[in-house]
């Protein structure tokens, strides 16, 4: 099974929001991951509809997690964002003429495998994925330092 880049970056958006610890903007997230803002806006719609994030409009607005990162399970995010989990033709609605569709051993095995996949993913939360042994927090601090270098004596960035 292969997840789409949309699902991959949906999880990464949530990780960013959690690691930032305050409201994030699509512009910040796009710059951090080197992605087009338009791509992230499409993902943001799904994350908002699924109740993982909330958006705040107006000046000082942005995106924040709608609930604690420790309560956002990875499998739930994948299930809500990914568009299809058709592991074989049998899973497609009206996509097969197989006479064994309701009694097939392969269909049963694939259904169990998919269930195990989600069970394994749901052992992890967004908080787990951004813990101290992972590098997103370090990378975020570094990128902030590059974007906004410390001010010099006269309130201007050092070296100016």
Q: pLDDT tens digits, residue range 115-145?
A: 899 999 999 999 998 876 556 655 655 555 5
Residue 16 lies in a domain: yes
What are 40-85's pLDDT values in tens digits? 999 999 999 999 999 998 888 899 999 999 999 999 999 999 887 7
The range of the structural domain enclosing residue 31 comes to 5-83+125-145
Calculate the CA dihedral of residues 88, 94, 99, 105 and round it to 10 degrees: 30
Residue 69 lies in a domain: yes
Residue 52 lies in a domain: yes
Over 60: is that where the pLDDT of 152 sits? no
Calculate mean pLDDT across residues 93-107.
Answer: 65
Structure token digits, residue 140: 């975020």
**To the nearest whole percent, how much of the chain has pLDDT over 70?**
70
Residue 106 lies in a domain: no
d(CA 37, CA 49): 18
pLDDT of residue 127: 92
Task: State how many domains the chain has.
Answer: 1
d(CA 89, CA 97): 10
Residue 120 lies in a domain: no
Residue 12 lies in a domain: yes
Beta strands in 5-154 (DSSP E): 53-56, 62-65
Residue 28 lies in a domain: yes
pLDDT of residue 156: 47
CA angle (81 as vertex; 125, 12 as ends), nearest 5 = 50
pLDDT of residue 55: 93
Specify the CATH number for the domain of residue 34.
Answer: 1.10.10.10
Calculate mean pLDDT across residues 15-38.
Answer: 91
In Å, the largest CA–CA distance within the chain is 79
């Amino acid at each position: 099974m292969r997840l789409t880049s949309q699902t991959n970056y949906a999880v990464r958006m949530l990780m960013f929001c959690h690691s930032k610890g305050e409201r994030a903007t699509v512009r910040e997230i796009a710059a951090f991951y080197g992605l087009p803002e338009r791509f992230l806006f499409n993902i943001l719609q799904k994350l908002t509809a699924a109740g993982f994030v909330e958006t705040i409009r107006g000046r000082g607005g942005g995106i924040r997690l709608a609930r604690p990162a420790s309560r956002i399970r990875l499998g739930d995010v994948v299930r809500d964002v990914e568009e299809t989990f058709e592991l074989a033709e049998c899973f497609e609605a009206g996509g097969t003429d197989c006479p064994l569709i309701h009694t097939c051993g392969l269909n049963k095995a694939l259904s169990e495998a998919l269930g195990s996949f989600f069970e394994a993913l749901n052992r992890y939360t967004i908080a787990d994925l951004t813990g101290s042994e992972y590098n997103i927090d370090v990378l975020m601090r570094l990128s902030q330092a590059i974007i906004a270098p410390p001010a010099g004596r006269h309130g201007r960035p050092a070296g100016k």
